[in-house]
Amino acid sequence: MIPQAKIRGGLRILAAACAVAAGVVLGGLAAAPEPFDWRLPPGVAPPPVPADNPMSAAKVELGRRLFYDADLSIDGAISCATCHEQHHGFTDSNRTRPGVHGTPGRRNIMSLAGVGYLSPLTWADPRAATLEQQMLIPVLGESPVEMGMKGQEAELARRLAKDACYRRMFAEAFPDDRGEIGMATVAKALAAFQRTMLAFDTPYDRSRAGDWSGMDAAAQYGWALFNSERLKCATCHSGPAFSDSAYHALAGQAAADDTGLAEISGRAGDLARFRTPGLRNVAVSGPYLHDGAADTLAAAIRRHFAATDPNAPTAAEITDLSAFLRSLTDAGFLKDPRFALPQTACGEPL
Residue ranges in contact with ligand HEC by CB under 6 A: 72, 78, 80, 82-84, 97, 99, 105, 107, 109-110, 112, 115, 118, 121-123, 131, 134-135, 138-139, 146-147, 190, 194, 226, 231-233, 235-237, 248, 250, 253, 274, 276-278, 282, 285, 288-290, 297, 300-301, 304, 313, 321, 325
**What does the alpha-carbon distance between residue 283 and residue 330 come to, in Å, rounded to a whole number?**
10
Q: CB 119 → ligand HEC: shortest distance, Å?
A: 8
Q: CB 147 → ligand HEC: shortest distance, Å?
A: 5
Q: CB 205 → ligand HEC: shortest distance, Å?
A: 18
Surface-to-core class of residue 84, CB atoms within 10 Å of its CB (0-12 exposed, 13-18 middle, 19+ buried): buried
- Of 65 and 97, CB closest to ligand HEC: 97
- Of 140 and 348, CB closest to ligand HEC: 140
Q: CB 152 → ligand HEC: shortest distance, Å?
A: 14
Q: CB 165 → ligand HEC: shortest distance, Å?
A: 20
- Of 174 and 288, CB closest to ligand HEC: 288
- Of 60 and 297, CB closest to ligand HEC: 297
Q: Are 166 and 160 in contact (CB under 8 A)?
A: yes
As a whole number of Å, the end-to-end CA separation of the chain is 68
Q: Which of 211, 247, 205 is nearest to 223 (CA)?
A: 205
**What does the alpha-carbon distance between residue 25 and residue 61 come to, in Å, rounded to a whole number?**
28
- Of 123 and 339, CB closest to ligand HEC: 123
Q: Which of 57, 61, 21 is nearest to 343 (CA)?
A: 61
Q: How many CB atoms lie within 10 A of CB 133?
A: 16
Q: CB 23 → ligand HEC: shortest distance, Å?
A: 38
Element holding 14 (H helix, E strand): helix 4-31
Q: CB 204 → ligand HEC: shortest distance, Å?
A: 13
Residue type, 339: F
- Of 58 and 321, CB closest to ligand HEC: 321
Q: CB 18 → ligand HEC: shortest distance, Å?
A: 47
- Of 62 and 109, CB closest to ligand HEC: 109
**What does the alpha-carbon distance between residue 14 and residue 137 come to, in Å, rounded to a whole number?**
54
Residue 68 main-chain phi, psi, to 5 deg: -100, 10
**What does the alpha-carbon distance between residue 121 and residue 101 come to, in Å, rounded to a whole number?**
25
Q: Which of 175, 157, 164, 140 is nearest to 58 (CA)?
A: 175
Q: How many CB atoms lie within 10 A of CB 268?
A: 8
- Of 74 and 190, CB closest to ligand HEC: 190
- Of 58 and 189, CB closest to ligand HEC: 189
Q: CB 242 → ligand HEC: shortest distance, Å?
A: 8
**What does the alpha-carbon distance between residue 176 and residue 159 come to, in Å, rounded to a whole number?**
22
Q: What is the 3-state secondary structure (H, E, C) of 120-165?
A: CCCCCCCCCCCHHHHCHHHHHCECCECCCCCCCHHHHHHHHHCCHH
**What does the alpha-carbon distance between residue 121 and residue 191 come to, in Å, rounded to a whole number?**
12
